[in-house]
Chain A
Amino acid sequence: MNIILAEIKKSYKILLAYPVEIAFWIFSPLLWAVPLVFQGKALIGGLSSEKFGEIAGTPDFIPYVLIGAIISTYMASSVWSMGFAMRDETFYGTLEHILSAPVKPVYILLGKAIFNSFLATTYVIIQLGICIIIFGLKITLYKIVPIVFFLILLIAGLYGIGFAAAGLTLLVKEAHGLLHLFEYILFLFSPIRYPVEINPITKAISVIIPLTYALIALRGLLLNIRFDFWKNSLILIGIDLIIIPLGLYIFSWVDRHTRQKGTLGEY
């Protein structure tokens, strides 16, 4: 527990030294959502479409896109922040010193993951505030307990992805391209920007991505759209139970592999 707390404190203090980074993470999801809003408006001649409603469960395009953008902050956090969490230590020159400490590296990674979740949640709250004020987003927060419940399930699943991404960046070194590809795949096959039901292939692949169920549930709770609570929560729990051990296994394998190959501290 001490290690996780120390990691959170350290990461927080280092982040404060880079205020531009904070602004980037707050505004970038909104910046990519706004053109989508305009695009939708240009396509359907307004902000609401019955046809869109038949597939997405709500005819209102703006709230659908904005909530997708805001929740995708957690995805970006797991892919990029967790993915580069150990890699950053190489840039600082401290990786070998933390990996020669008498602690399993996964605890250090867990500390970084929890810090990133707190950070992403802070960003999400600020983004929601901006969307409510500027875009007139109307959300219902009275179902706060199920919202937090689904967020926890989502974040836990994304930890699995983040652990694997952290391992991947230790292995591949220059992993920007690979992580971008990974992120684009998640964007394509989960209902962040559009309802995946529009295409049979995206619909079929989306069933194995935790974001799909979390977005259905969170949009349902925030926008009062009907959804199957138990089905979505049980599937998410099931995916989490597979993806977290898998992510941990990948990270531990890479840790051992790089210690064997001698590429741990290489850049």
Chain B
Amino acid sequence: MTNDIIIKNLVKVFKKHHSEVRAVDGVSFEIKEGELFGLLGPNGAGKTTLIKCISTLLIPDKGTAIVGGCDVLKDPLGVRKKIGVLTGGERTLYWKLNAVDNLKYFAALYGVPSNRVKERIDFLLELMDLKERANENVEKFSSGMKQKLAIARALIHNPPILLIDEPTLGLDPYFARFIRRFIKEELSIKLKKTILLTTHYMDEADELCDRVAFMNRGRVEALDTPEKLKKAMPQEQVLELKCLGDLNKEDFVQLKESVSLNISKQDGYHYLRFNTDNPEVLLSKLVDMIRDRAKILSVQVTSPTLEDVFVYLTGTSLKESQDE
């Protein structure tokens, strides 16, 4: 199996005034033909910058990427013929045009032969279940329908490679589930597209991807299948506590057992996740430690998730990385 995307020591630096940000800092990896590859990390990790370099919207400062056999620096038009780009967010289509006119315009732009445009648009509208609304202006569509039409647009020239950036961002759970299933079942399994997917939803990547790469501060921290990444964790179990009270990460530094801790606050509750080999022993210690400051509302022992792997590798949770 050949590699559809080869990224070679790619560097992208943004300079503003007297400071510079190394948004992508020497990233290298390959994506095989037909593979569904996930690029994970918090906001600002460099995922979108990397995808923009691959789609030729940004010119790398060092290194390069070979996409479908074309070099992004030497043959950007060749690269663009091989890729379809799907981004999250509502405003990626012409709201004052209807679905058909949007697709007709992009069909011309992507070089779909005139005699195949109608057939292609009919097929995609049918595929995305938008046939009934084909002649309505996009401004009347819900967020989910707009994202469906954006998928149709990305597929209009039937590209072998898809670059999908945060596809479920801002969607309600129903449409997010639909989009995830569509990416996996239709685009990956049935149509056998090579897919590079960026997301900061770890569950999404776990559910969809054949392999994932963790990005943090412009670098790839780890790359493997979700199963292997999770198995590489030194602790096999995760102890999760839901607490009410006043708790900080610093309160738990003396716990040798907790190699990594993810503490988050939601709706007034603290959620603590400890990677551990011995949840029972750890739990008894925790009860003693926080008895005076917080009330434990629930206790759960689970298997590590990709987010736990991220915390283990980077020492920070996704949210902490985003806040920095």
Binding site for B on A (CB under 8 A): 2-3, 5-7, 9-10, 13-14, 17, 92-94, 96-104, 108, 256, 259-262, 264-265
Give bound CA distance, A5 to B107, whole Å.
12
Beta-carbon nearest neighbor of A97 in chain B: B92
- B211: CB under 8 A from chain A? no
Give bound CA distance, A6 to B105, whole Å.
6
Q: Shortest CB–CB separation between residue A241 and chain B, in angstroms?
A: 27
Give bound CA distance, A260 to B12, whole Å.
9
- A-side contacts of B108, CB under 8 Å: 2-3, 5-6
Give bound CA distance, A126 to B312, whole Å.
70
- B-side contacts of A261, CB under 8 Å: 14
- B110: CB under 8 A from chain A? yes
B55 touches A10 (CB 8 A): no
Instruction: Tell me whether A264 and B96 are in contact in the complex, defined as CB-CB below 8 angstroms, given that A9-B105, A100-B80 are known contacts.
Output: no
- A-side contacts of B96, CB under 8 Å: 13-14, 17
- A-side contacts of B78, CB under 8 Å: 102
- A-side contacts of B85, CB under 8 Å: 96-97, 100
Q: Which segment, of B56-64, B171-179, B223-231, B286-294, faces chain A?
A: B56-64
Give bound CA distance, A100 to B92, whole Å.
13
Q: Shortest CB–CB separation between residue A212 and chain B, in angstroms?
A: 37
Binding site for A on B (CB under 8 A): 12, 14, 23, 49, 52, 55-59, 77-78, 80-81, 83, 85, 87, 89-97, 101, 104-111, 114, 153
Ordered by A's residue number, 17 sampled pairs between the chains whose C-beta atoms are within 8 Å are A2-B114, A6-B108, A6-B109, A9-B101, A13-B97, A92-B94, A92-B95, A93-B90, A93-B92, A93-B93, A94-B91, A99-B57, A102-B77, A102-B80, A103-B109, A256-B59, A259-B58
Interface on chain A toward B: helix, strand, loop, or mixed SS? helix
Which 3 A-B residue pairs are closest in the complex by CB-CB distance?
A93-B91, A6-B108, A102-B80
Instruction: Tell me whether A102 and B94 are in contact in the complex, defined as CB-CB below 8 angstroms, given that A9-B105, A259-B59 are known contacts.
Output: no
A101 touches B106 (CB 8 A): yes
Instruction: Tell me whether A262 and B114 are in contact in the complex, defined as CB-CB below 8 angstroms, given that A93-B92, A94-B94 are known contacts.
Output: no
- A-side contacts of B110, CB under 8 Å: 101-102
A10 touches B94 (CB 8 A): yes
Give bound CA distance, A108 to B87, whole Å.
21
Q: Shortest CB–CB separation between residue A239 and chain B, in angstroms?
A: 32
Q: Which of A9, A98, A101 has the most CB of B within 10 A?
A: A101
Give bound CA distance, A253 to B283, whole Å.
62
Give bound CA distance, A17 to B96, whole Å.
7
B87 touches A10 (CB 8 A): no
- A-side contacts of B109, CB under 8 Å: 3, 6, 98, 101, 103, 108
Query: Which listed residue (B23, B101, B111, B114) contacts A103, Cβ 8 A?
Result: B111
Give bound CA distance, A3 to B49, whole Å.
28
B57 touches A100 (CB 8 A): yes
Query: Which listed residue (B14, B80, B81, B90) contacts A262, Cβ 8 A?
Result: B14
- A-side contacts of B52, CB under 8 Å: 96, 262
- A-side contacts of B114, CB under 8 Å: 2
Beta-carbon nearest neighbor of B92 in chain A: A93
Q: Which of A2, A97, A103, A108 has the most CB of B within 10 A?
A: A97
Q: Shortest CB–CB separation between residue B10 and chain A, in angstroms?
A: 14
Give bound CA distance, A7 to B52, whole Å.
24
Instruction: Tell me whether A259 and B56 are in contact in the complex, defined as CB-CB below 8 angstroms, given that A2-B108, A92-B95 are known contacts.
Output: yes
- A-side contacts of B77, CB under 8 Å: 102-104
Q: Shortest CB–CB separation between residue B210 and chain A, in angstroms?
A: 25
Give bound CA distance, A3 to B111, whole Å.
8
- B-side contacts of A265, CB under 8 Å: 57
B104 touches A6 (CB 8 A): yes
- A-side contacts of B111, CB under 8 Å: 2, 102-103
Give bound CA distance, A17 to B140, whole Å.
14
B106 touches A262 (CB 8 A): no
- B-side contacts of A99, CB under 8 Å: 57
